[in-house]
Amino acid sequence: MPVSGMLISAPETEYKPLLDRDRTLADVKEHLQPWLRLIRDITSYGTNLIPRCMVSSDRKLADAIILATLLRQAVAMLDGIEILLSNGAVYASNLQMRALFEASVYIDWIQLSDTEIRAAYYYVHNLRRMRTWARRSQPDSPEWQEFRSVVNDFGISVRDEVRGIPKYTESSISA
Residue 71 and residue 33 in one domain? yes
Residue 100 sits in the same domain as residue 24: yes
Is 170 a member of any domain? no
Cβ atoms < 10 Å from Cβ of 107:
19
CB 156: neighbour CB atoms within 10 A?
Answer: 10
pLDDT tens for the chain, residues 1 to 175: 555 666 767 778 889 999 899 999 999 999 999 999 999 999 999 999 999 999 999 999 999 999 999 999 999 999 999 999 999 999 999 999 999 999 999 999 999 999 999 999 999 999 999 999 999 888 889 998 898 888 888 888 776 655 566 665 555 555 5
Check whether residue 54 and residue 74 sit in a common domain: yes
84 and 144 fall within a common domain: no
Q: For residue 169, is it within any domain? A: no
Q: Are residues 140 and 99 in the same domain?
A: no
Amino acid at position 167, single letter: K
Instruction: Assess contact for 47 and 68: CB atoms under 8 A.
Output: no
pTM > 0.85: no
Domain that holds residue 147: 113-164
**Cα(160)–Cα(126) distance, integer angstroms:** 25
Pair (133, 92) in one structural domain: no
**Do 93 and 139 reside in the same domain of the chain?**
no
Give all strands (DSSP E) within 47-138, no chain letters.
none
Verify that 101 and 47 share a domain, yes or no: yes
Tell me the one-letter amino acid at 67: L
The reply to whether 118 falls in a domain is yes
172 occurs within a structural domain:
no
| Cβ neighbour number for residue 122 with a 10 Å cutoff | 20
Q: Is residue 175 part of a domain?
A: no
Give SS3 for 91: coil
Contact between 46 and 100 under an 8 Å Cβ cutoff? The reply is no
Assess whether 38 and 108 both reside in one domain. yes
25 and 72 co-located in one domain: yes
The answer to whether residue 106 is domain-embedded is yes
Any domain includes 55: yes
The span from the CA of 136 to the CA of 103, in Å, is 26
What phi, psi does 89 have (nearest 5°)? Answer: -90, 65
Distance (Å, whole) CA 139 – CA 148: 10
Residues 39 and 102 in one domain: yes
- Provide the domain count of the chain: 2
Mark whether 49 and 128 lie in a shared domain.
no
63 found inside a domain: yes
- CB proximity list for 79: less than 8 A, separation 6 or greater: 43
pLDDT, position 97: 98
Length of the chain: 175
- Contact between 46 and 106 under an 8 Å Cβ cutoff? The reply is no
